[in-house]
Chain A
Amino acid sequence: DSGVTQTPKHLITATGQRVTLRCSPRSGDLSVYWYQQSLDQGLQFLIHYYNGEERAKGNILERFSAQQFPDLHSELNLSSLELGDSALYFCASSVYSGVSTDTQYFGPGTRLTVL
């Protein structure tokens, strides 16, 4: 158990819908990173927040947005969902502020299925 929690574990929705994925970092970690893993694209870095501020953006679509709240939990919002958005979404947390960190602790992921 990494100490990072993600909810929900599974999500099934329809095209065009909007969903919110939630991540709670390990106690004491200020950084939250979001990743998308699909069979086609593999693992892709989406976005990084540190202590409430956006620090780095990766391959995040404009239909996706994220934020980190004062209690340091983070939410990833996916809207106008398409079939291709079906994937495993991971969040990771770290004590460090950089994108490249020595140790990121990954959550178990949210499996999103868009029908």
Chain B
Amino acid sequence: SQELEQSPQSLIVQEGKNLTINCTSSKTLYGLYWYKQKYGEGLIFLMMLQKGGEEKSHEKITAKLDEKKQQSSLHITASQPSHAGIYLCGADIKRPGSEKLVFGKGTKLTVNP
């Protein structure tokens, strides 16, 4: 089963609307990353969250980490067509003696003008 579940799988919004993407882990989170990917291209790092309750913002994108729920949310305010793409969450899930980096399957965001 997927260690990181993202929801929704896809999202279509009208320009100017707010939206939220969620990422839930089945394991304890030690670091949570958000990335954006244009189709067929490399990933662009957005932000990293490490502590429970931590919240970071980058332009109109805000991400929060809820350590207790093992969940992170990515919120986009007043969406623009430039926000369109695939948003991926990644997490550091440590196990004794090793570190493991896992990723969600992504949320495809379409922003209609």
Docked-complex contact A42 and B42, CB < 8 angstroms: no
Bound together, the chains give a CA A42 to CA B88 distance in angstroms of 10
Interface size of B in residues (CB-CB distance below 8 Å): 23
Among B15-23, B76-84, B100-108, the stretch that binds chain A is B100-108
A62 at the interface (CB under 8 A from B): no
- Counting CB contacts under 8 A, is B44 at the interface? yes
At the interface, yes or no: B85 with Cβ under 8 Å from chain A?
no
Interface residues of B in 9-63 (CB under 8 A from A): 30-31, 33, 40-45, 48
Are the C-beta atoms of A106 and B42 separated by less than 8 Å?
yes
CB distance from A46 to the nearest CB of B (A): 10
Whether the pair B42, A109 counts as a contact (CB closer than 8 A) is yes
CA–CA, A44 to B103, complex, Å?
Answer: 7
A residues contacting the other copy or chain, number (CB 8 A): 23
Instruction: Tell me if A103 and B45 are in contact (CB < 8 A).
Output: yes
Annotate B1-12 by CB proximity to A: 1 below 8 A, 0 otherwise: 010000000000
Which residues of B are found within 8 Å of A58, using beta-carbon distances?
A: 100-101
Q: Which of B48, B101, B104 contacts A102 (CB 8 A)?
A: B48
Chain B: minimal CB distance from A23 (Å): 11
- Answer yes or no: A11 CB below 8 A from chain B CBs: no
Nearest to A102 among chain B residues (CB) is B48
Asked whether A42 and B41 contact (CB < 8 A) given A58-B100, A99-B99, A100-B30, the answer is: no
Identify the closest chain A residue to B100 (Cβ): A58
Give the 9 A-B CB pairs with smallest separation, nearest first. A106-B42, A100-B92, A43-B103, A45-B101, A42-B105, A99-B99, A106-B43, A100-B31, A108-B42
Q: A4-B42, A100-B31 provided; 8 other pairs, C-beta below 8 A?
A: A42-B2, A42-B104, A45-B100, A45-B101, A45-B103, A56-B101, A88-B40, A109-B41
Can you name 15 A-B residue pairings with CB atoms under 8 Å?
A: A4-B42, A42-B105, A42-B106, A43-B90, A44-B102, A44-B103, A99-B100, A99-B101, A100-B30, A103-B45, A104-B45, A105-B45, A107-B42, A108-B41, A111-B40
B residues adjacent to A (C-beta < 8 A)? 2, 30-31, 33, 40-45, 48, 88, 90, 92, 98-106
